């Protein structure tokens, strides 16, 4: 079996831990970029800032990265297609529509926006799934992909309508900002609502990671190897989509993480999901924490997180393509 370098494993685990610890002190208080750790003991404001704003935000950023990257890895395995991303089954565009609708109807209450985004993310998924069941041609992969494309297009045109209707001075900037993604509004209470479900979803994916290899084989082979193919694939799909929808509902649209991180993970530790899934989780968390550190501390104003993940994600993608690191065999 392919031996992986012990150093790589140690780095994959150590880098996120060190990064998380350092990130607590990165920010714009008391002065740009760095909060001296000893201030935690003397400065009431610094302590409260770190514990009540930075810590939940960091946890959310790491969970967001873990969720998007592992959900992306699961879908790329199940759909046997390295170019699918976790929100493509109507989830991302559904959430965007839900958030926009809430901003238009209710106003800028983070809880209302989050709930509406969650509801429409799952509506997008349910709609895609039901539509796929009504199609009578192609295998299940093709049917789900087609349905996902159609439903996403429907919701994204809905988002267009909402933008058109929105008040250009108040509501429109808010919709646009939400669509660009960010963790600026995360609090412990938001996080604690989604946390149990996200952890269950991540646990299912982590525990079934070797099985994922079997489920990525053709239907007949997976069946001949004793898998209850449809049931097990559905369970993993639900876990992946649920964590994506929940994290999108609190973070907005944070692109490219679910597409690019699984590729990097496979490059580092090989395609065997037993290793690629944990690697994707750690790398995804690390990538989003770095992007979010930049988003909240580089400039005096917040940079939307989605812009940074897309920028760095796309750059990484281009580098990997040029370096011929993304191989697809047909």
Partner 1 sequence: MTAEPILAFHDVAYGYAKDLPEAVSHLNFDIPPASITAILGPNGAGKTTLLHLALGLFHPRCGTITVGGKPLKSYRRRELSRWIGLVPQNEYLPYEFSVLEYVVLGRSPYLGPLDMPDPVDVSIARQALETIGILQLEDRVVHELSGGEIQLVIVARALAQQPRILLLDEPTSHLDLANKHTILKTMHDLAKTGVTVIFSTHDPDAASRIADRMVLMRKGRVLDAGSADVVFTAEKLSKTYGIPVEVVQVDGLKVALHDERYD
- With respect to partner 1, which residue has the nearer C-beta, 208 or 308? 208
Long-range pairs of 146-152 with CB within 8 A, sequence gap ≥ 24:
147/89, 147/90, 148/88, 148/89, 148/90, 149/88, 151/89, 151/90, 151/93, 151/94, 151/124, 151/127, 152/88, 152/90, 152/92, 152/93, 152/124
- With respect to partner 1, which residue has the nearer C-beta, 156 or 272? 272
- With respect to partner 1, which residue has the nearer C-beta, 219 or 302? 219
Tell me phi and psi for residue 119, to 5 degrees.
-60, -45
Question: Given the rule CB under 8 A, which residues bind partner 1?
Answer: 1-2, 77, 80-82, 207-208, 210-211, 213-214, 216-221, 223-228, 232, 266, 270-272, 274, 327, 329
Structure-block tokens of residue 244? 């994506």
To the nearest whole angstrom, how small is the minimum distance from the Cβ of residue 271 to partner 1?
3
309's CB contacts (< 8 A; 6+ apart) are 181, 254, 255, 256, 257, 287, 288, 291
To the nearest whole angstrom, how small is the minimum distance from the Cβ of residue 202 to partner 1?
14
- With respect to partner 1, which residue has the nearer C-beta, 216 or 291? 216
Q: How far is CA 264 from CA 62, 210, 227, 272, 281, in A?
A: 17, 19, 28, 13, 11
To the nearest whole angstrom, how small is the minimum distance from the Cβ of residue 218 to partner 1?
5
Structure-block tokens of residue 36? 């001296």
To the nearest whole angstrom, how small is the minimum distance from the Cβ of residue 12 to partner 1?
18
- With respect to partner 1, which residue has the nearer C-beta, 8 or 327? 327
To the nearest whole angstrom, how small is the minimum distance from the Cβ of residue 190 to partner 1?
31
- With respect to partner 1, which residue has the nearer C-beta, 39 or 217? 217
To the nearest whole angstrom, how small is the minimum distance from the Cβ of residue 269 to partner 1?
12
The three-class DSSP label of residue 121 is helix
């Amino acid at each position: 079996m392919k031996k992986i370098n012990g150093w790589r494993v140690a780095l994959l685990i150590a880098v996120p831990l060190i990064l998380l610890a350092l990130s607590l002190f990165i920010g714009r208080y008391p002065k740009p970029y760095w909060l001296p750790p000893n201030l935690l003991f003397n400065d009431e404001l610094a302590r409260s800032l770190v514990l009540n704003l930075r810590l939940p935000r960091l946890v959310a950023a790491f969970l967001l990265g873990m969720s998007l990257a592992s959900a992306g890895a699961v879908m790329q395995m199940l759909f046997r297609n390295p170019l699918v991303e976790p929100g493509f089954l109507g989830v991302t565009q559904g959430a965007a529509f839900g958030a926009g609708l809430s901003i238009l109807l209710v106003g800028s209450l983070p809880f209302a926006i989050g709930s509406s985004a969650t509801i429409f993310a799952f509506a997008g998924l349910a709609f895609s799934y039901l539509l796929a069941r009504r199609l009578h041609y192609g295998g299940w992969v093709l049917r789900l992909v087609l349905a996902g494309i159609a439903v996403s297009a429907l919701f994204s045109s809905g988002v267009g309508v909402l933008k058109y209707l929105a008040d250009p001075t108040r509501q429109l900037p808010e919709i646009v900002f939400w669509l660009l993604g960010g963790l600026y509004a995360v609090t412990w209470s938001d996080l604690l609502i989604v946390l149990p479900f996200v952890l269950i979803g991540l646990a299912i994916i982590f525990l079934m990671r070797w099985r994922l290899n079997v489920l990525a084989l053709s239907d007949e082979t997976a069946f001949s190897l004793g898998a209850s193919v449809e049931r097990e694939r559905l369970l993993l799909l639900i876990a992946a989509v649920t964590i994506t929808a929940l994290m999108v509902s609190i973070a907005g649209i944070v692109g490219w993480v679910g597409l690019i991180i699984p590729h990097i993970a496979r490059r580092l530790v090989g395609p065997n999901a037993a290793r690629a899934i944990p690697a994707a989780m750690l790398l995804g968390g690390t990538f989003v924490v770095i992007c979010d550190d930049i988003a909240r501390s580089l400039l005096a104003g917040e940079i939307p997180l989605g812009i940074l993940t897309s920028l760095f994600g796309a750059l990484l993608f281009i580098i990997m393509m040029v370096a011929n690191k993304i191989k697809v065999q047909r």
